[in-house]
Structure 1
Amino acid sequence: MFSNEVISTFNDLEMSLYNYVIKNSDKVIYMRIRELAKETHVSTSTILRFCRKVDCEGFSEFKVKLKLFLDKDQTPHLRSSQESLSEFLERTLKGNLDSYIMDAAKIIADSDSVIFIGIGSSGILAEYGARYFSSLGKFSLYIKDPLFPISAKYLQNSTTIALSVSGENRFTVTHINQLKQEGSKIVSITNSQHCTVAKLSDVNVPYYVTEEKYNNSNITTQIPVMYILESIAREVNKH
């Protein structure tokens, strides 16, 4: 609403008005134009000129746009870590997570090599997973670049472990397709079974927690992924 270009056109009086509006937005949306003029020590004509500069025909339209701006800018509520963990544990006890973990572990244990893929926060956990599996005796690699050269003979009896919250990331889907075509089996860990990555997989392990976004970033908890990765690795070690 207040772009840098618009702010640069304000004179001293308009700038003081702008500063008042920014600091008292929740009050201004309920004020009359004369009340705002009295509070800011400017004339009503200055306020109307200010409104026109922010592309409003009058003070009433300005208040409507200001309210919409405030509603859009509301900071979303963040769930506590305990709430996310409790949700996962509750659903784990009621679901088939253990059987999915066992199925995934069997495929991985029978494979000669394990490749982890993922992007963003899932990529960070994919790298952690590769290290964790290797520490428990199953040599694994995290590959970020889908064009990373791998000889086809190393993929014939391999398992790819794909991590993705949404299961719809184009980068991850493309990478899975390439590895699948080369003969690698696919185990995926996603937040839902009803996604592209899950459908491409030989075994999918879903964890179903409420998805969260903040400032256009996906901040869905990754605690379930950590638990699932470590549980699968320990089952593979038993085999």
Structure 2
Amino acid sequence: MFTNEIIASFNELEMSLYNYIVQNSEKVAYMRIRELADETHVSTATILRFCRKLNCEGFSEFKVKLKISLKENKKTTIKSSHHSIVEFFERTLKGDLEEKIKMAASLVTKADNVIFIGIGSSGILAEYGARYFSSLGKFSMYIKDPHFPIHSKLMLNSVTIVLSVSGENNFTVTHLHQLKQKGSKIISITNTKLSTIAKTSDINIPYYVTEEFIEEANITTQVPVIYILESMAREIYKPN
């Protein structure tokens, strides 16, 4: 139902709508258009444009096709890693990713202190990012405790790099606000620029890949995050 060509044609609002539908297909198949608009915070006009991109005359026809698709795909299918990587490069590298990486690297270069935060798999990558940056000469730390004591003077010329797939994790949002209030500049790496964390940041680097779930587990690829982190670190590094 959702081909690579169709998904690649989605704008940010349509991508947000698509991610919601993928995660709530069984529910969406029986919703009214106004209910879906309220749940996804988009207009009914956006939903109708979305349906037309799927060659549906309206929302009713879309729901019929969605129900058929659900019956045909009872078994969960995990995309290959190759598919995820190609998706990332096709959607993101055509945009301003490299420019955003350079902007973020410039901000980090001027900072005295760099802090990484994240939770779950994003937390593991935050720890990796801190180590990778430190290996290339920009000492960084990873903090997973939002109550970790940090002297306010250390935050005056600091940068916090926030990692989050959804950009909505309450733990990370709370942590981000605490660091921002202490004067730290915020760089976020999220799957979409429409999230709370993205909107709260001074610089957001979105990577736009389709989120994937197995039951309650988010198994969305983290390859784009590694690419962005390593590109930033290499941009910052200047040989003597």
Overall identity of the aligned pairs, in %: 65
Q: What residue is the counterpart of 1:234 in the other structure?
A: 234
Deviation track 1:164-208 (CA, whole Å, cap 9, x = no partner) reads 000000000000000000000000000000000001100000000
Which SS does the other structure have where 1:94 is aligned?
Answer: coil
The one-character-per-residue Cα deviations of 1:199-223 (angstroms, maximum 9, x if unpaired) are: 1100000000001011211110000
User: What is the match of residue 122 of structure 2?
Assistant: 122
Partner of 1:8: none
Give the superposition deviation at 1:74.
4.4
SS of structure 1 residue aligned to 2:162: strand
**1:221 counterpart letter in structure 2:** T
Helix, strand or coil for the counterpart of 1:238?
coil
The alpha-carbon deviation at position 238 of structure 1 amounts to: 3.2
CA offset at residue 89 of structure 1? 1.0
Match of 2:221 in 1: 221
2:175 aligned partner, one-letter code: H
Aligned residue for 1:126, secondary structure, equals helix
Structure 1 runs (4+) deviating above 2 angstroms are none
Shift of 1:92: 2.7
Whose radius of gyration is greater, 1 or 2? Answer: 1
Q: What amino acid sits opposite 2:233 in the alignment? A: A
Counterpart in 1 of 2:179?
Answer: 179
Q: Hey, what does 1:46 align to over in structure 2?
A: none
1:203 is matched with 203
Matches within 5 A, 1:84-95: 84-95=84-95
Aligned to 1:167: 167
Match of 2:104 in 1: 104
Q: Return the alpha-carbon distance in structure 2 between the equivalents of residues 92 and 188 of structure 1.
A: 16
* Structure 2 unmatched ranges of 5 or more: 1-70
Aligned residues: 168
In 2: Cα distance, 1:114 partner to 1:163 partner: 13
Unaligned runs of 5+ in 1: 1-70
Q: For 2:192 and 2:85, how far apart are their aligned partners in 1?
A: 17
TM-score, normalised via structure 1 length? 0.68
Q: With the length of structure 2 as denominator, give the TM-score of the two structures.
A: 0.68
Looking at structure 1, the residues matched to 93 and 126 of structure 2 have their Cα atoms a distance apart, in angstroms, of 25
